[in-house]
Every structure is written in structure tokens, then in C-alpha cells.
Amino acid sequence: MTKEGTFLWGGRFERKPDAETVAFSTSIGEDYRLYPFDILGSIAHCMMLERVGIISQQEREELCDGLRSIYRELQEGKIDFTPFEDIHSLVEHRLRELKGQVADKLHTARSRNDQIVLDERLYLREMIAVVIEKIITLQERILEQARAYPDLVMPGFTHFQPAQPVLYAYHMMAYFYMLERDIERFWDSLKRVNVLPLGAGALAGTSLPIDREYVASLLAFPKVQENGMDAVSDRDFILEFLFDLLSLFVHLSRLSEELVVWSSPLFGFIEMDEALTTGSSIMPQKKNPDLAELLRGKCGEFLGALVSLAATLKGLPLAYNRDLQQDKKPLFRSAEEALSSLDIAAKLVAGMRPLPQNMEQALKKGFLTATDLAEFLVEKGVPFRKAHHLVGRIVRKMLEEGRELTSLRAEDLGEYASLFEETLKERLDEQKSPLFKKSLGSTAPDEVRRQVVQAEINLEQWKKSLEKLKEEWKTSFEKLLFFKE
């Protein structure tokens, strides 16, 4: 049942909505999460109404005092939110219970249309900050792996076939820089999230003398949305957030896939922490990488969330339509899944241990230094295509003879036999191959160390930038919630 007065509309109607209509249309089950932001926005709006002379100082004090009381009650779980249509009706109904008729002035010069977008923007910018923090934690675990095993050599793959020797640290750093791009995307999206919609009204603004820039300053928004019709119907910022999450989880899925493959006895490149694996109900020998598999599977959820919201937004006429209420489930579920999944990803990386002996054995399969031989010949003046063709023939011959490239002899080079050097065998040694790399961004030990140092610098910069932004938001919110000058 719905309490009397919990709907913020009704004067036009003689009959109340029936129970099924109420159940179908309410959003409180999702948007109760927005209560801190709904109250913050209401306090800022209330302070602006007094500033422009629409309400008195006493009315502002009464309303803000009531809103702060409601915040404390919700924080302590003292209000049952289930009977209400949405978070806005809960706050306004409770404010009327606490402060009487003055509560009816709070909604002056605003609509739920601009109010809900404000709540979502305030929620999302904080969520983005938390997501970035958790990505940083995962990056730190990756760096720990790279620093712990600076000289460990393993096979690198293309097409899932042995390709060239690389440092294990180099492989780890590839994931670090994937995640770096994810942080950049989330950070850049804050420019589009951090824009004030409040003051757009239902769609056309208001004839009352409101001050949107003042509200923006109170809520630490650097910009105000220019067009009210766009402001109330805009969900691009949520769509972008969901895309950024999808991109992140494509990367986490790739990492998970390699953890699954590497931990298989058929590869045996790593051993995973037993606390992060499970057994089989029928096969007693099994040690299954279930968490990595689940993390890999999460990618589908984020793709579904993105497609779901895009399909909802497609073709909607301006301005607000109730379809937009469907933005909350994909938003909240995705945000919450992302936080827990990033925690698991960090644990998985921290808990894995490489197995050097197995990696060394794998280096002997697949002629991984064939490209090294081709580049040696190029250095001696052989055109690359000729060198490539010659090395291909050498590999074929050695396969037939059961030999490895380290057994190379001068006669194997045919017409280029005079170029043979005994020191070439060292260059064809899989363990030493990375030492000969010279290019920027390569697997050369010095280059990998440089990448690690640069990564450490990047992390410190991100942490400082994030802390500065969070402190700005915190200061703004504390002033509103606790009336700190």
C-alpha cells in the first residue's frame, strides 16, 4: 500500500492509481541509493531560493534543518522507503511530516525531471572516482608482479602460437597500460558528467529568478548545462560510463582468459592462490580457476547494460519520457558489479605465482628466436624479405632434423654462410633474446624498467589528481550537510 501524500502529483486526478500501476511505475527499489545526492541537491536548491528572495531566511533554515534530519535518518536506516514512488517523494513526504506546510515550498522552480538527472550526475561522479581508485589498486598489484620477476623470460604469443621470447614483467606491463587507458577514459568522462542540470525545470526553465550558477558552485559543478530540454532528457553521460565499463571489462576478460590458460597444467605458467580457486564435486584432483572464469564472464553483463540503455534512448522524442526511468537498473547494477569485480581482479593478480621452470621449457618449443636470426641477417646487409624466406627454410629443415635454432651451423645459412658467427648462438638463446631488443617500448630489460618507473609516476599523478577532486567534492558536501562555513 502507498501512504497518503507520497505522490508528488494528483491535483488533476479524482482517482488514485491502482495497485498494479503503482507497482509497475515506482522506481524506489533502485533510486533509494540516490538519497544522499537528492538531499544535497535539495539543500543547495533551498539555499538558492533564499538567495534570490523566493523564500525567507527562516524558511530556508527550517527546510535545510529538516533535510539534514532526513539524511541522518536514512543513514541510520530509520525510514522505510518501500511505500514511496521514488526517492524524491520520500524526501518531500518526510520533510512535510517534520516541518509542516513550509515543505511545500521546496519544489519551487524545479521538476523531478531535472532533479533526477542531478542526483544521477552526483552519484556517478563519485562512482567514477571509486572505480578509478580500484583500477589503480589493480595496477599496483600488476606492478608488484613486474617488479618481483624482472628477469623472468616466457613465450610471447600471436594467434595463440609461440612467437618471440618476452619478459614476464613486459607481459604484465601490457595489462598495466591497458588499464591506464581505462582510467583516462573515465577521467575524461568527468568533464561531461560534472555539469549541472538543475534549473532546467520540466524542460523549458522557469519564469522565477533562480541562480543556476550559484547552485553549481555549491555542488562543485564547474559548468551549467546550456539547454534545459537537453538537460532533462540527456543520459549520454550514463551511456558513456557504461561504455567505459565495458571497455574495462573487455580488458579484464582478456587478463582472466590468460590466467585460466596459464594456470592449466597443459601450460603451467602460473600457480593460483588456492583461496581463489575451487574444486570439483566429482573429480578430487581438480583446482579450478572459477573466479577468473566468473570475471571473464562479467563482460557480457556490461555489454548487455550498454545495449539495454542504448535501446531505451534510441528514438526518444524530446524532452523527458518515462522510459528514462529504465536507466537506473543498468547503471546501478553495472556500477556495483564493477567495484566487486575489480576487487577480485586485484586479488587474483596478487595471488598468482609464476613457475619459471615451465616457462623455460615452453621457450624451447616453436623456434621463438627465428625473428632474431632474420634481424641478424638484416644487420649484415641481407634484405629483410630474403632473410625472412631463408630463416623459414632453415626452420623447416630443423623441424625435419629434430634440431633447435641454437644448433645453427654456418652451412645452414646457405649462400650467406660467410655471415655466420659463433656469437650468433647466444643471440638465438631464448633466455637472452630480450637483451638484444633496442626499440622504445620493447621487451628489453632496460625498456621494461623504464616502463615500470613511468607507470609508478603515472599512478602517483592519478592519485594526487583524484584526491584533489574528491577533497573539493567533500568540502562542498560538508558545507551543505553540516552547514560548515
Tell me the three cell numbers of residue 54. Answer: 523566493
Cell of 470: 574528491
What does the alpha-carbon distance between residue 195 and residue 207 come to, in Å, rounded to a whole number? 22
User: Is-catalytic flag, 45?
Assistant: no
**Under a CB-based contact definition with an 8 Å cutoff, are residues 463 and 136 in contact?**
yes
Active-site annotation holder among 56, 264, 280, 407: 280
CA distances from 54 to 86, 106, 302, 321, 347 (A): 26, 10, 45, 29, 54
**Pairing state between β 195-196 and 223-224:** parallel
Angstrom distance (rounded) from CA 352 to CA 345: 11
Cβ(6)–Cβ(28) below 8 Å: no
- Could you tell me which of 430, 350, 407 has the C-alpha nearest to residue 163? 430
Q: Which of 159, 207, 281, 418 is labelled catalytic?
A: 159
Q: Is residue 280 exposed (0-12), middle (13-18) or buried (19+ Cβ within 10 Å)?
A: exposed
Maximal CA-CA distance, the chain: 101
- Let me know how many helices (H) and strands (E) the chain has, helices first: 17, 6
Query: Which residue has 623470460 as its cell numbers?
Result: 153
Check if the beta carbon of residue 142 is closer than 8 Å to that of residue 118: no
Beta strands in 245-388 (DSSP E): 270-272, 352-354
How far, in Å, CA of 367 to CA of 395, rounded? 7
Three-state secondary-structure class, residue 353: strand
| Count of other CB atoms within 10 angstroms of residue 163 | 16
Task: For residue 255, count CB atoms less than 10 angstroms from its CB and return exposed for 0-12, middle for 13-18, buried for 19 or more.
Answer: buried
Does the active-site annotation cover 280?
yes
Instruction: Output the CA–CA distances (angstroms, integers) from residue 112 to 25, 106, 193, 238, 249, in the order listed.
Output: 14, 12, 18, 18, 33
Surface-to-core class of residue 226, CB atoms within 10 Å of its CB (0-12 exposed, 13-18 middle, 19+ buried): exposed
Backbone φ, ψ for residue 140 (5° rounding): -65, -40
**C-alpha Rg value of the chain to the nearest Å:** 30
- Active-site residues: which are they? 159, 280
